[in-house]
A = this chain, B = another copy of it.
Amino acid sequence: MLRLTKQTDYALVLLSLIARNGASEMFTARDLARRTNIPLPMVSKILKRLGKEEILHSVRGASGGYRLARDPSEVSVAEIILTLEGPISITECSGESDTLCALECSCPVSSTLQRVNRAVIDALEGISIGDVAAPHHAASDPKPCSCTAPLIGAPGA
């Protein structure tokens, strides 16, 4: 547990797939759905949301599609989570919201929880989509990784 939503999970796979094929290439939702085995409406929904932010650039009309709006190395995993799930806050008291426990005391629990939260955020900000897309720095991978169709077994079990 302590899990991202499936939508975010999908987004990481999709973005990594896009990033792997060059930042400037264009992909249609249909194409990405075929290559990842993620249901098309889902892919569409996710890309739409990413398109509204400065993560993907969308082009309408025939021969339209999506491409990365920025260099893969400049889009962090944290930012994707932020876009799809809102601010990262491990607990209600760990964020900046202060909606509850609003006793306006410098609560020791909340202060430490914020530290925990910060640590998690730092970890997620330190990894970019470029990293996710191309982790094989040391050696090129000889096996034909079928990760272009990664979630094929997901719905089943």
Q: Which A residues are closer than 8 A to B by beta carbons? A: 1-6, 8-9, 12-13, 16, 20, 77, 81, 85-93, 99-103, 105-113, 115-116, 119-120, 122-124, 126-127, 131-136, 141, 143-147, 149-154, 156-157
Which residue of B has the minimal Cβ distance to A107? B147
**Cα distance, A119 to B78, chains bound together (Å):** 13
- Say which residue of B92, B111, B133 sits within 8 Å of A9 (CB atoms): B92
- Asked if B132 and A109 sit within 8 Å, CB to CB, the answer is yes
Select one of B89, B120, B145, B157 contacting A123, CB under 8 A: B120
Q: Which of B9, B107, B157 contacts A150 (CB 8 A)?
A: B107
Q: How far is B10's CA from A91's CA once the two chains are assembled, in angstroms? A: 9
Q: Please tell me if the beta carbons of A109 and B16 are within 8 angstroms of each other in the complex.
A: yes
Q: Is the CB of B2 within 8 A of A103?
A: no
Given A143-B105, A157-B100, A86 and B127 contact (CB-CB distance below 8 Å) = no
Q: Please indicate the chain B residues that have their CB under 8 angstroms from the CB of A3 in the complex.
A: 89-92
Q: Are B89 and A112 in touch, CB under 8 angstroms?
A: no
**Interface pair B16/A101, CB less than 8 Å apart:** no
Chain B residue numbers with a CB within 8 Å of A112 are 16, 127, 131-132, 135
> What are 9 A-to-B residue pairs whose CB atoms are below 8 Å?
A1-B5, A1-B86, A1-B88, A12-B113, A99-B157, A101-B154, A108-B147, A111-B135, A115-B127
**Chain B residue with Cβ nearest A114:** B135
Interface contact B2-A88, CB-CB below 8 Å: yes
Extra contacts, 18 of them, besides A2-B81, A13-B109 (Cβ < 8 A), are: A1-B81, A2-B85, A2-B88, A3-B92, A8-B91, A12-B109, A92-B154, A100-B157, A101-B147, A101-B151, A107-B150, A108-B133, A108-B134, A108-B135, A109-B150, A112-B135, A119-B126, A119-B127
